[in-house]
A and B are shown apart, each in its own frame.
Chain A
């Protein structure tokens, strides 16, 4: 038997923090690709310390629903899951290339395939683009449109900016959008000045965050001038300095994120090709581009 365990941060204060984790777990559960699909959290229950003991399968794929490699993926999660013999060198990563390491959980004896975070997987670029389609309702969105990927910045973790640059580069290489920019909350180029960086009238702005919360629902909308007060909400699109800003909210809430979770498990050896196909189609909210 094989299980998928999605691990995420969660929150003691915000009820919505774990919603994307549960949403993607439900999507994957519906594919029957795994005998069990479980969720574990740093701040909610079951805790990272105890999630594995709720798993009946001997073989477990653990996928961190985190944006970048760093403190949580390298230290906290392996420590709390009691992955025997873990060392970050197991991933042999440059900050973007963590894939998988197979270890044993000391307390439960599960064989754990510990995967890299969803945020740095190449398939996350597709989710950013899908998010643009969803927020504009246009499956062909791209030409004459600017695209901004927004991240926290390097203040806490240099790998966080690497992930933003990586996906911005990939969106740019797709040549689908007129202009592509990586922007940050706490460093240059800043999301506050979003309209300075684009000549296109329409700009799609997608934060590379897992869940909507303080940053994506309060800070970024106010910083960009979508609203003076986040409590009064904002329009999509919103007119700012002669531009139309389509603000998408956290990319992690996009249904296709479930695909990236599956890609991580597949890269670690799970045989789930048909589930991946199913999730790609089922999570699409706009009609097909050629319909």
Chain B
């Protein structure tokens, strides 16, 4: 049962008399014509109402949710921020559900997953929306066991470090810490908080929905670079593909890569399945590509190493573990793991010389000549 605030009733009366009447919004229409006031929803229609009858009709059990819904969307959210509005509409499936069903769903909470975030829209007093925000891993944790936050800008503390205390330069890396909750955000605050945790994902998601997403492919991004990044244009298509596969996979970034090598050359790497798109190589990719541009200039050469089959496999295990970020999960005494620290120290002891050369083989042939 929605109880309207005086302000909501007043605005409805004013709107019914205004030049813009009739008002039509989300299955509600109301206005004023020669016969007096009228109001109509899918469930109820009343015409020829006096001002006082119109007033009391607004509070009708069937009508009040529609009025509060109109008030929330047209006065509280309004139209200043199209991306915010679209996102908030999405959070309550406004395009799919009529007000009656939506209010019933909001009563018990409508949940949306956004990256690693779980957002639940509910109804506060007078049908005003309230949003709860926490890490999706904390879905089953009681709010009393989570650290409570109120100020959207404090979300910067949540986003800054991962669970091991390492700085997170990429906000959409799937390494957001859990253990916190925003129990009751307003419509503007939930937008601001998500925009801090996953910057610009809401505008880009909305632009994609409306067919307006401006994708900048790798080659254009690379061409634009100047200064120390001027060189990245030289990176081969093949290397850009390896880079996208290594850095932009779902395991590394929750954005769904929509950029390709260029408009006509797609990359083989999987773009991922995130809700929000990645419209351009990010600054981390550009910075890393500079390293690869330099490294990829080297020509391959043949080296001869002597390794046992187990040692070859161990090196492969080590690469795998570092690439997957699993090192910290390898137990101290689990020497059956190739990337175990003792196994690695043993390999170093056995196979590397004092200069750190694997199998005593110098990296550059000149070293051999010099030595």
- B80–A53 contact, CB under 8 A? no
Query: Which residues of chain A are within 8 angstroms of B172 by Cβ–Cβ distance?
Result: 45
Instruction: Tell whether B53 is near chain A: CB-to-CB under 8 Å.
Output: no
Please choose the segment from A8-16, A235-243, A247-255 that sits at the chain B interface, where 4 or more of its residues have CB less than 8 A away: A8-16
**1/0 contact trace for A251-280 toward B, CB 8 Å?**
000000000000000000000000000000
Could you give, for residues 91-114 of chain A, a 1 whenever the CB lies within 8 Å of some chain B CB and a 0 otherwise? 000000000000000010000000
Pair B204/A22 contact, Cβ less than 8 Å: no
Taking a contact as CB atoms under 8 Å apart, the answer to whether B207 and A53 are in contact is: yes
For A54, give its contact among B167, B200, B214, B287 (CB under 8 Å): B200
Instruction: Verify if B305 is at the interface (C-beta below 8 Å from A).
Output: no
Measured CB to CB, the nearest residue on chain A to B153 is A26
- Interface residues in B67-102 (C-beta closer than 8 Å to A): 80-81, 83-84
Q: Which residue of the partner chain, among A26, A50, A56, contacts B204 with CB atoms under 8 Å?
A: A50
* Smallest beta-carbon distance A120→chain B, Å: 21
Partner of A11, one of B161, B169, B207: B169
User: Which chain A residue has the least Cβ–Cβ distance from B156?
Assistant: A22
Instruction: With CB as the reference atom, state the residue of chain B lying closest to A43.
Output: B283
Task: Tell whether A176 is near chain B: CB-to-CB under 8 Å.
Answer: no
Question: Is B199's CB within 8 Å of the partner chain A?
Answer: yes
The 8 closest A-B pairs by CB, nearest first: A46-B199, A56-B81, A15-B167, A50-B200, A45-B199, A53-B203, A12-B169, A46-B200
Which residues in B have some Cβ–Cβ distance to A below 8 Å? 80-81, 83-84, 153, 156, 160-161, 167, 169-172, 195, 199-200, 202-204, 207, 214, 216, 224, 226-227, 279-280, 282-284, 287
Given contacts A12-B284, A53-B207, 19 further A-B contacts (CB under 8 A): A12-B169, A12-B283, A15-B161, A15-B167, A22-B153, A42-B283, A43-B169, A43-B283, A44-B283, A45-B170, A45-B171, A45-B172, A45-B199, A45-B282, A49-B280, A50-B199, A53-B204, A76-B226, A79-B224
A–B Cβ pairs within 8 angstroms, 28 of them:
A1-B80, A11-B169, A12-B169, A13-B167, A13-B169, A14-B167, A15-B160, A15-B167, A43-B287, A44-B169, A44-B283, A45-B171, A45-B172, A45-B199, A45-B282, A47-B282, A47-B283, A49-B216, A50-B200, A50-B204, A50-B279, A51-B200, A53-B203, A54-B200, A54-B202, A56-B80, A57-B80, A107-B214
